[in-house]
Amino acid sequence: MLRIWGRTNSINVQKVMWAVGELDLPHERIDAGGAFGGLDTDAYGALNANRRVPTIEDDGVVVWESNACVRYLAARYGAGSLWAEDPAERARADRWMDWQAATLLPDMGVVFWGLIRTPADQRDPAAIEAAAGRMHGLFRILDQHLADRDFVTGRQFTMGDIPVGAACYRYHELPIERPRLANLAAWYERLQQRAPYREHVMIPLT
């Protein structure tokens, strides 16, 4: 049985659970991290020396790093749906997965942590505003990419939509002003038609 360690309000856990939902995999999710703790035990450290969530274990295979978990599940269970066998097609998904983690997350993290997880009297408004400005610019790039595509790789939903899709929900839920990005909005509408997205990603920001 596939096991996933992680708390539901973590975007990185949400990516994995969304993939699990899309693939309809039998699984057990174990609350870990945040208020649940459990990351400092020897048993968890043996699974993931970084002591972060998510971690998955599938038939003896242990994977950590959320995007690596999504890729593993897609490769193992999602050939032809989440996973493209053609390297060029798969690269079209990979680049947006890496873009979410390496390019978007630094600024999005400042805004999310600043506005959602930091008490009002301890916030750095200038840093939040500057990061929000950069974040809008990054979503504008994704918006332009989506101008002639239903999903990030083309006509079909793939693993490439998962990290940026999870980030897109947060973007729309953050208490900030956003530019009107029509292509992004249309894609976000399409994502909302997917039950696993609604179940695992579209939950209150905490």
Ligand X SMILES: N[C@@H](CCC(=O)N[C@@H](CS)C(=O)NCC(=O)O)C(=O)O
* Contacts made by residues 201-205, CB under 8 angstroms, sequence distance 24+: 201/14, 201/18, 201/165, 201/166, 201/169, 202/169, 203/8, 203/9, 203/14, 204/9, 204/173, 205/9, 205/112, 205/116, 205/170, 205/173, 205/174
Nearer to ligand X, 108 or 146 (CB): 108
Cβ of residue 52: shortest distance to ligand X, in angstroms?
3
Q: Is 200 in the site for ligand X (CB under 6 A)?
A: no
Q: Is 152 in the site for ligand X (CB under 6 A)?
A: no
Q: Is 63 in the site for ligand X (CB under 6 A)?
A: no
Select from 18, 20, 52, 158 the one that contacts ligand X (CB under 6 A). 52
Q: Is 100 in the site for ligand X (CB under 6 A)?
A: no
Q: Is 109 in the site for ligand X (CB under 6 A)?
A: no
Q: Which stretch binds ligand X (CB under 6 A): 47-55, 72-80, 87-95, 188-196?
A: 47-55
* Cβ atoms of residues 92 and 52 within 8 Å: no
Q: Is 48 in the site for ligand X (CB under 6 A)?
A: no
* Cβ atoms of residues 90 and 159 within 8 Å: no
Q: Is 29 in the site for ligand X (CB under 6 A)?
A: no
Q: Is 33 in the site for ligand X (CB under 6 A)?
A: yes
Q: Which stretch binds ligand X (CB under 6 A): 6-14, 75-83, 167-175, 178-186?
A: 6-14
Nearer to ligand X, 55 or 181 (CB): 55
Nearer to ligand X, 106 or 125 (CB): 106
Select from 3, 8, 30, 34 the one that contacts ligand X (CB under 6 A). 34
- How far apart, in whole angstroms, are the C-alpha atoms of residue 94 and residue 87? 10
- Sequence-distant (6+) residues with CB within 8 A of 161 are 93, 96, 151, 152, 153, 191
Bridge-based pairing of strands 61-64 and 55-58 is antiparallel
- How far apart, in whole angstroms, are the C-alpha atoms of residue 134 and residue 103? 10
**Which token pair is 187?**
């894609």
* Binding residues with ligand X: total (CB under 6 A): 11
The contact set with ligand X (CB under 6 A) reads 10-12, 33-34, 39, 52-54, 65-66
